[in-house]
Amino acid sequence: MRLGLFFRLAWSNIKKNHQLYIPHILAGTGLTGVFYVMLTLANDKRIEDIKGGYAIPAIMAIGCAVVAILSVILVFFTNSFLMKQRTREYGMYNVLGMEKRHVGRIMFLENLISTTISLVSGVLFGILIYKLCCLFICKMLHVDTILGFYVDPGCIAKTVGGFALMYFAAFLWNRFRLARLRPVELLASAGAGEKEPKIKWILLVIGLLTLGAGYYIALTVESPLKAIPDFFKAVILVVIGTYALFLAGSIALLKLLRKNKGFYYRRKNMVAVSDLLYRMKQNAVGLASIAILATGVIVMMSTTVCLYTGTEQTIKQYFLNGDADIFLRTNCRHSEETENGWETHNYQLPAETIRELTEKTVKDYGTEVVSFRPMRNLSDIFRFENGKGSIYEVRSTFATMPEGTVQLIILPVEDYNGISGQSVTLGDGEVGWFALSADSPEITKTVPEQFRIGGQPLRIAKEVKALSLTTNETYTADAYGLIVPSIDTLDAIVEGLDRELQEAYDGDSRFYLYASVYYTYCVQVADAGKLAEVDTEMQMASTFGTYLQERVKETENDGGEPENDEDDPEGPKSYTDVHWFWESTWGMRNELFAMYGSLFFLGILLSLVFLFATALIIYYKQISEGYDDRSRFQILQKVGMTQKETKGTIRRQIVIVFFLPLVTAVIHMLVAYPVIRKLLKLLMMPNDTLFVICTGLTIVAFALIYMVIYRMTARTYYRIVR
Amino acid sequence: MSILEVSNLQKVYTTRFGGNKVQALSNVTFSVEKGEYVAIMGESGSGKTTLLNILAALDRPTAGKVVLEGRELSTIKEADMATFRRENLGFVFQEFNLLDTFSIRDNILLPLVLNGAKPAELEGKLLPIAERLGISDLLAKYPYEVSGGQKQRTAVARALITDPKLILADEPTGALDSKSTDDLLRVFRDINSQGQTILMVTHSTKAASHASRVLFIRDGEVFHQIYRGECTNEQLYQKISDTLTLLTTGGEQR
């Protein structure tokens, strides 16, 4: 009976305050739904099993974490806003004779109702859009598996449990605040005079320092690999800086403007400046949050769109600008223990043999080899000291590279000519070079003109036409191709380097890094599409492997000698020592689509959540300002401002406040551009133009959506003000 | 020479869906001389506020006209109205209507700035007025930091700073304690003695007893008026009080 009354009161309160509660409930619904979708995607075995779906669970798990953090922030934000707006109402109940525990009970019921609606509709929404998401993922991964309706009770339980706990925590916070308030304060809290904002000098200094440091890091990042930890450092600094500057910097600036009498005491400025001062005080946190969210959306969307749409280009570039479909590498290696410790022997099958095997394999799968070109090379990081280059061992992934380190791909001139179609000739001891990325400086900046490498004296003679080669590990910004006079020179270099490494490791060859030539062959086939169609890369590679092993066995048998033949220490000792490495355009395509497709999907989902959060913050900002502005609006008119002037000045202020986060986000993005470009390089996406286009389009799209959100919320605002 | 002439003023409010008509003012005629201090009295619902709104050009009459210094209000275009108001009228309200985002100084200066005064001229106009109203020490403070009486004096300063032809005061003492009321009325007397024309709407007998003339409004008409003549405040107070008794006990006679 009594409970029934409380329940009715709570329900009518929600209805009466629908302007506040609808966004609150919508936020709950959206966040619950998205969280459920991500959690289910992370756990759905069927998704994991689709071609290219292996990357989704891990990526969605990251998404879950982001949404969870954002949910906590947003739930507490909307909750505190609701509480602030309704304090007076609760005070009134108290004054009218309800005890605080009764008010608390109404509050609890209100929370219970809104939470239940949010969670139930959120889970339903999640279940509905889950199927849509599955379809979308299939489309993006280029698979046509269509999955049926799917509900995961475990995920529902976890989602509901987690969110319910969060809402309960929010309720406890409200209840705590209610208990501490006295009735008079409850009533008065809405009409309290607003204190003049003070400049928070310490915060201002912190803001300037952190933002400056963040920008500095972002703008001066050298190597792409260092870009990862630097990027996160910069992000944290910039986030702190943005909040601090929105809080303190805006007020300091406006106060400075107010001090300037010639500027301040003008018809257009006086009202605007002092109103903005108060607006910034109330909304700095919300605006800074919008700026951060907006930056997040722009960064996420521009990078994931760029990666996803650039996949084909990345592949093309990786495979010699489209001149190859398969990269093949074989190596037979055998390690044995001798009196001198462990020794490793490398053994290469002749190129002709590999060619035959490849042709056989490709024929088996229904097309034929068009070209088969060797690209024997040594690819490693070198450090040059006193004119001598030696292999530099990267001990830690995030280590800073010392001066003089450079990435080199060394290949013999005959292979270079074969691939590039050039006819470069090099004299004895002469080398040619080309830069692997367009923005690398002249090679002589790091490598001296006369140098020794692996004991070979060499001299930089000429720059040659660049080949489109991608290094596997992009440790340093500067990477070069180095052309040596012949394969013999290359072999001699490798031998020399190997010896140096052995010495460095005191002959324990089990553990030392051995230097070896990659006997890579670039294969182009007539119809790569056919191969991609009938086959996965794995199957073809294993067919090739079978042929290869047969052939190796034949070689052994040709010799007519048993295994461990002492006369032929170079020969392979068992099948397991045969290594082959196989890369194809279609294999890479599958892998990249799996990776970038799921990243793109995550980008879209998170961007939607971020946009939603932005809309929510703007909406609540507009409402709370609407109530304050109404009285100001009326006074200004009474004092003699025309209606047009009043409207004009208010609109101008709102537009400034509205564009501030957007402008901030764009500036952040511009500063982040060099770091992100380097990060993209790490992901083998070297196309800058595409990234610039993606970023531009994302910014425009975001600005448009933001404008729509603003328009929609502005309507509510003007309704209140009028 | 009369500064304000009001003749046959009529105002009819129509409820939103037609139907009911409410006659707020039926026939109001009076005039105010330059330098006069006129109080308008009447009960709630007598039409005081409607009259003031029309005089302030915030509302338009159904019939009749208002002429301020030879200019008829109804001939002024809507677009010029705010400027006209700003340049010719000063307002003092019961609820002060100060902007809490402005310091006292800025609240007073606002109308001047809106008029496009040069920043250099401001201080010169502000200081003497602040001095006269005894708020020179408060200029840097904010409305929430000062008392009700000080707020109202700020509002008076804001009304005076543009040298208006007429000050319109709507229940200026309504939200003040008795000491602040006395202070404010003394201020009004002061500025009036320096030649400022004041028109004040009030239902406080005490406030009205400071005026040089008191008009009584009932049911939308000017019902009676009293000139101070040679009376002291106390004598005028008595006269007003008697008239009010007559008004409420309902003598229909004039």
| Beta-bridge mates of residue A375 | A520
| Beta-bridge mates of residue A221 | none
Contact yes or no for B220/B46 (Cβ under 8 A): yes
pLDDT at A240 exceeding the cut of 90: yes
Residues of A in contact with B100 (CB under 8 A): 193-194
Between the alpha carbon of residue A192 and those of residues A82, A186, A189, A635, B143, the distances in Å are 18, 11, 6, 18, 12
pLDDT in tens, B158-172: 998 988 889 999 888
| Beta-bridge mates of residue A237 | none
**pLDDT band, residue A396 (cuts 50/70/90):** low
Contact yes or no for B149/B183 (Cβ under 8 A): yes
pLDDT at B66 exceeding the cut of 70: yes
Give the best residue of A637, A639, A642, A643 to mutate against chain B (max B CB count within 10 A).
A639
Give the best residue of B105, B110, B150, B158 to mutate against chain A (max A CB count within 10 A).
B110
pLDDT in tens, A515-544: 677 788 888 888 887 777 765 666 777 778
Per-residue pLDDT, A470: 67
| Nearest-CB residue to B122 (from A265, A277, A278) | A265
Can you tell me the distance from the alpha carbon of A313 to that of A605, in angstroms, rounded to the nearest whole number?
25
Contact yes or no for A592/A537 (Cβ under 8 A): no
Cβ distance B101 to A194 less than 8 Å, yes or no, reads yes
Residues of B in contact with A639 (CB under 8 A): 86, 91, 97, 110-111, 114, 158
Per-residue pLDDT, A555: 65
Sheet strand arrangement including B63-68: B71-72, B63-68, B2-14, B21-33, B221-227, B213-218, B37-41, B198-202, B166-170, B89-93
| Beta-bridge mates of residue A328 | A521, A582
Can you tell me the distance from the alpha carbon of B176 to that of B198, in angstroms, rounded to the nearest whole number?
19
User: Quick check: A270 contacting B, CB < 8 Å?
Assistant: yes
pLDDT at B194 exceeding the cut of 70: yes
Token couple for B123? 């201080």
Which A residues in the span 512-531 are in contact with B, Cβ-Cβ below 8 Å?
A: none
Regarding predicted confidence, which is higher, A99 or A290?
A290
- The secondary structure of A396-415 as a DSSP string is STTPPPPTTEEEEEEEEHHH
Token couple for A389? 């280059």
Percentage, residues of chain B above pLDDT 70: 96
Other beta carbons within 10 angstroms of residue B14's beta carbon come to 11
pLDDT at A161 exceeding the cut of 90: yes
Per-residue pLDDT, A167: 94
For A599-616, give one letter per residue: b (16+ CB within 10 A) or e.
Answer: bbbbbbbbbebbbbbbbb
Per-residue pLDDT, A401: 67
Between the alpha carbon of residue A185 and those of residues A273, A570, B16, the distances in Å are 31, 91, 39
Nearest C-alpha neighbor of A705 from the set A621, A604, A598: A604
Can you tell me the distance from the alpha carbon of A314 to that of A334, in angstroms, rounded to the nearest whole number?
35
Q: Which residues have C-beta within 8 Å of that of residue A195, sequence separation ≥ 6?
A: B142, B144
Residues of A in contact with B109 (CB under 8 A): 265, 270
Task: Measure in Å the smallest separation between the Cα of A275 and chain B Cα atoms.
Answer: 6
> Which residue is closest to A193 within chain B, CA to CA?
B144
Give the best residue of B49, B88, B114 to mutate against chain A (max A CB count within 10 A).
B114
Give mean pLDDT, residues B67-72: 86
Can you tell me the distance from the alpha carbon of B170 to that of B148, in angstroms, rounded to the nearest whole number?
16
**pLDDT band, residue B39 (cuts 50/70/90):** very high
Q: Which helix (H) or strand (E) holds B39?
A: strand B37-41
| Beta-bridge mates of residue A522 | A327, A373
**pLDDT band, residue B72 (cuts 50/70/90):** confident
Q: Are strands A341-347 and A326-338 parallel, antiparallel or unpaired?
A: antiparallel
Give mean pLDDT, residues A327-341: 70
Per-residue pLDDT, A90: 81
Regarding predicted confidence, which is higher, A557 or A491?
A491
Cβ distance B119 to A262 less than 8 Å, yes or no, reads yes
Can you tell me the distance from the alpha carbon of B186 to that of B192, in angstroms, rounded to the nearest whole number?
10
pLDDT at A234 exceeding the cut of 60: yes
**pLDDT band, residue A329 (cuts 50/70/90):** confident
Task: Measure in Å the smallest separation between the Cα of B111 and chain A Cα atoms.
Answer: 7
Regarding predicted confidence, which is higher, A352 or A221?
A352
Nearest C-alpha neighbor of A530 from the set A370, A348, A335, A374: A370
Between the alpha carbon of residue A664 and those of residues A233, A245, A669, A674, the distances in Å are 19, 11, 9, 17
pLDDT at A571 exceeding the cut of 80: no
Can you tell me the distance from the alpha carbon of A303 to that of A61, in angstroms, rounded to the nearest whole number?
19
pLDDT in tens, A98-109: 888 888 888 899
Give mean pLDDT, residues B13-33: 80
Per-residue pLDDT, B18: 62
Give mean pLDDT, residues A45-59: 78
Other beta carbons within 10 angstroms of residue A256's beta carbon come to 12
Query: Which DSSP letter does residue B211 get?
Result: S
Regarding predicted confidence, which is higher, A509 or A702?
A702
In this complex, how many residue pairs, one in chain A and one in chain B, have their CB atoms less than 8 Å apart? 72
Three-class DSSP category at A626:
helix
Give mean pLDDT, residues A435-457: 82
pLDDT in tens, A365-395: 888 888 888 888 888 888 888 888 888 776 6
Per-residue pLDDT, B114: 84
Per-residue pLDDT, A559: 44
Interface of B with A (CB under 8 A): 58, 79, 81-83, 85-86, 91, 93, 97-103, 106, 109-111, 113-114, 116-117, 119, 122, 142-145, 158
Per-residue pLDDT, A237: 93
Regarding predicted confidence, which is higher, A243 or B254?
A243
pLDDT in tens, A24-46: 899 899 999 999 999 998 888 88
Per-residue pLDDT, A166: 94
**pLDDT band, residue A292 (cuts 50/70/90):** very high
Place of tokens 């086939």: A525
> Mapped to the 3 state alphabet, what secondary structure does A28-93 carry?
HHHHHHHHHHHHHHHHCHHHHHCCCHHHHHHHHHHHHHHHHHHHHHHHHHHHHHHHHHHHHHHHHH
| Nearest-CB residue to B99 (from A261, A635, A643) | A635
**pTM listed for this prediction:** 0.78
Contact yes or no for A502/A391 (Cβ under 8 A): no
Residue A69's Cβ-count burial label (10 Å; 0-12, 13-18, 19+) is exposed
Three-class DSSP category at B127:
helix
Per-residue pLDDT, A383: 85
Place of tokens 């609606």: A117
Regarding predicted confidence, which is higher, A402 or A99?
A99
Count Cα neighbours of A166 within 13 Å in the Cβ-side half-sphere: 25
Give mean pLDDT, residues A649-663: 84
Per-residue pLDDT, B217: 87
Lowest average pLDDT, out of A536-540, A585-589, A716-720, goes to A536-540
Residues of B in contact with A643 (CB under 8 A): 82
Residue A692's identity, in one-letter code, is V
Task: Measure in Å the smallest separation between the Cα of B171 and chain A Cα atoms.
Answer: 15
**pLDDT band, residue A183 (cuts 50/70/90):** low
pLDDT in tens, B120-142: 888 888 999 898 888 889 898 88
Q: Which residues have C-beta within 8 Å of that of residue B24, sequence separation ≥ 6?
A: B11, B12, B13, B47, B50, B220
Cβ distance B81 to A275 less than 8 Å, yes or no, reads no
Give the best residue of B58, B100, B102 to mutate against chain A (max A CB count within 10 A).
B100
SS3 content of chain B, % helix, strand, coil (to 5): 40, 25, 35
Per-residue pLDDT, A189: 47
pLDDT at A157 exceeding the cut of 60: yes
Per-residue pLDDT, A560: 38
SS3 content of chain A, % helix, strand, coil (to 5): 65, 10, 20
User: Quick check: A276 contacting B, CB < 8 Å?
Assistant: no
pLDDT in tens, B140-157: 888 888 888 899 899 999
Which A residues in the span 182-241 are in contact with B, Cβ-Cβ below 8 Å?
A: 193-196
Contact yes or no for A247/A200 (Cβ under 8 A): yes
pLDDT at A190 exceeding the cut of 50: no
Residue B229 has phi, psi (to 5 degrees) of: 60, -125
Residue A450's Cβ-count burial label (10 Å; 0-12, 13-18, 19+) is exposed
Contact yes or no for B91/B56 (Cβ under 8 A): yes
Nearest C-alpha neighbor of A43 from the set A56, A27, A32, A30: A56
**pLDDT band, residue A156 (cuts 50/70/90):** very high
Per-residue pLDDT, A474: 55
Nearest C-alpha neighbor of A60 from the set A76, A83, A36: A36
Per-residue pLDDT, A211: 94
Check residue B97 and give left, alpha or beta (phi > 0: left; psi -120 to 50: alpha): left
Regarding predicted confidence, which is higher, A465 or B18?
A465
Give the mean pLDDT of chain A: 81
| Nearest-CB residue to A642 (from B58, B82, B145) | B82
Can you tell me the distance from the alpha carbon of B30 to that of B5, in angstroms, rounded to the nearest whole number?
6
pLDDT at A563 exceeding the cut of 60: no
Give mean pLDDT, residues A123-133: 90
Percentage, residues of chain A above pLDDT 90: 16
Token couple for A629? 């502005």
pLDDT in tens, B170-188: 888 888 888 888 888 988 8
- The secondary structure of A247-291 as a DSSP string is IIIHHHHHHHHHH-HHHHSSHHHHHHHHHHHHHHHHHHHHHHHHH
Contact yes or no for A407/A455 (Cβ under 8 A): no
Cβ distance A194 to B81 less than 8 Å, yes or no, reads no
Long-range contacts of A717-721 (CB under 8 A, 24+ apart): A717/A622, A717/A623, A717/A625, A717/A626, A717/A629, A717/A654, A718/A626, A719/A626, A720/A623, A720/A626, A720/A627, A720/A629, A720/A630, A721/A626, A721/A629, A721/A630, A721/A633, A721/A650
Residue A288 has phi, psi (to 5 degrees) of: -60, -40
Task: Measure in Å the smallest separation between the Cα of A662 and chain B Cα atoms.
Answer: 26
User: Quick check: A638 contacting B, CB < 8 Å?
Assistant: yes
